[in-house]
Amino acid sequence: MSGNGNNISLWYDNWNEFGPLCNLVTPRLIRSAGFSLDARVVDAYLNGNVMLPLAWFDLFPVLYEMVKPNDAAEDQLVWKDGGQSLPFSTRVVWDSIRSRGHHREWAKAVWFTQCIPRHAFILWLIMREKLLTQDKILGWNISRRKNMNMMCCLLCYADFDSHNHLFFECQFSSQVWLKTRRFAGLMSISPEWTSIKQWMIHAQSKSIVNIVGKLVIAASAYHVWQERNNRLFKNQTRPPNIVVDLVFSTVRYKLMGIRFKMSPRVRAVLEDWKIGDHGRDDDDDG
């Protein structure tokens, strides 16, 4: 948006309603008129009068609509979206050009203030069934199905892996889930992903119980996927109890960094996680 015109390109910036002047006049015309290609808007005016050749106005009458510089105002960078001019920022631009999908009812269960980002990212991929599991690979090329017998879940060796199998129906991952769910008081939630997903969708409040539950689910999924990849790419294996310990310690360290508003329920949960309540007296409710 033109102010004093000191910082706006006369030819290439979009400072008029009809667009950049370079859409009308060629570099050859610009040079023949005695202007530099690096000229600023302020260079086209003298004492408030436009200095462009009069012949240009006959050729391009829209030039009469040019906005005169305002010495009292600074030039501003704006983003035009649907006829609306907005202060420029990367956030405004991204929100304008990004494609918008349907709202996912599980989105807030994955991305919440207290989430662990790397865990949330894996959980987001799981929710969208975008992890590169063996069933996905087999689906790329039907001819590969003859080699299906050569593929198996590296956690239980009983079947080829898939999203539902890994989270948490295979023998290995179900052992992890049946133990980690105790940390969050989710004893009634089965190892089936549909049951876990439904619990997360309904865990909308910011209570410590819901926060802990979502952290435990995300950490369990993350470490199961990590174990699967360690076996596949590094030939490293760990028993279920080690993965369970990793889930507990990871979530515990996260909880230690969150400031909760103290209540009997919050204090009880923190005690279950072997966390003292010193200094935890503000922010999230119980």
Query: What single string gives the DSSP state of each residue in 69-86?
Result: P-TTS----EEEETTEEE
Q: What is the pLDDT along the chain (286 residues), one digit of tens a residue?
A: 567 788 888 888 888 878 889 999 999 999 998 999 999 888 888 888 888 899 998 888 988 888 888 887 888 788 878 778 788 889 888 888 887 777 789 999 999 999 999 999 999 999 999 999 998 888 776 665 555 556 889 999 988 899 999 999 999 999 999 999 999 999 999 999 999 999 999 998 999 999 999 999 999 999 999 999 999 999 999 999 999 999 999 999 999 999 998 999 999 999 999 998 544 554 555 5
d(Cα 20, Cα 80) in Å, to the nearest integer? 14
Beta-carbon contacts of 236 under 8 Å, excluding residues fewer than 6 positions away, are: 230
Task: Please report the pLDDT score of residue 194 as a whole number.
Answer: 96
SS3 state at 60: coil
Query: Residue 49: in which H helix or E strand, if any?
Result: strand 49-50
**How far apart are alpha carbons 116 and 247 in whole angstroms?**
12
**Residue carrying structure tokens 């515990």:** 252
- 220-232 per-residue burial string, b: 16 or more CB within 10 A, e: under 16: bbbbbbebbeebe
pTM to 2 decimals?
0.69
Neighbours of 103 (CB within 10 A): 7
* Cβ atoms within 10 Å of 73's Cβ, excluding its own: 12
- The pLDDT of residue 108 is 93
Sign of CA dihedral 270, 273, 279, 284: negative
**Domain ranges in the chain?**
21-97, 107-272
The neighbour count for residue 155, using CB atoms within 10 Å, is 23
User: According to the model, what pLDDT value does residue 144 have?
Assistant: 57
- DSSP secondary-structure letter at 46? E
286 with 207: CB under 8 angstroms? yes
